[in-house]
Structure 1
Amino acid sequence: MVSVLIPSQLIAYTDGATRVQAQGATVEAALDDLDRRYPGLKFRVIDEQDRIRRHMRIFVGQDEARDVRRALAPGDELMIFGALSGG
């Protein structure tokens, strides 16, 4: 089980929860688990080619995950961040 920090722009998918639990041995598997419970969440983070969207960042602890195949260990913290834009 990993703890997942949900950014403010995605909490509508998690019914307002900013931190949820997920199961999976990789970032992709954890996002698949979340998507089963919170449909549409994964598509906002991962594109059609299974790449992390360019305006999203995913960290496992303090290390940025650049690939959805990044391994996870029980107890890891997965943090999803959305880029801020504006002018």
Structure 2
Amino acid sequence: MSIRVVVPGQLFSYTDGQSRLVAEGATLGEVLEDLDRRHPGLRFRVIDEHGEIRPHVRFFINHQPALALSRALADGDELLVVGALSGG
């Protein structure tokens, strides 16, 4: 199952500067694991050590919020990873 993935600029150091990737998986969690195999360290930037989505990260599948790693995906879906910006 092929999933199109769009990542934010703050993850480019893990993706060799690529903003658009392709990953395999039937769930959000599986897609993130596949991305981490191809781009080591990426998963830990969006998922914490307890296996939870980090508070500053949001996932959208076909423009709909995905709140759990168990969220199912279908072939051809688009996963958008959004990271909050902070500063003052």
Q: TM-score, normalised by structure 2?
A: 0.96
The reply on whether 1:62 has 2:63 as its aligned counterpart is yes
* Matching residue of 1:20: 21
Q: Runs (4+) of structure 1 moved beyond 3 Å?
A: none
* Matching residue of 1:34: 35
Post-superposition offset of 1:61 = 1.0
What is the aligned length?
87
Seq. identity, %: 55
Counterpart CA distance in 2 for 1:59 and 1:3 is: 12
Counterpart CA distance in 1 for 2:75 and 2:15 is: 21
Tell me the secondary structure at the aligned position of residue 73 of structure 1: coil
Alpha-carbon RMSD across the aligned residues, in angstroms, is 0.6
The reply on whether 1:50 has 2:20 as its aligned counterpart is no
* Matching residue of 2:5: 4
Q: TM-score, normalised by structure 1?
A: 0.97
Structure 2 unpaired stretches of 5+: none
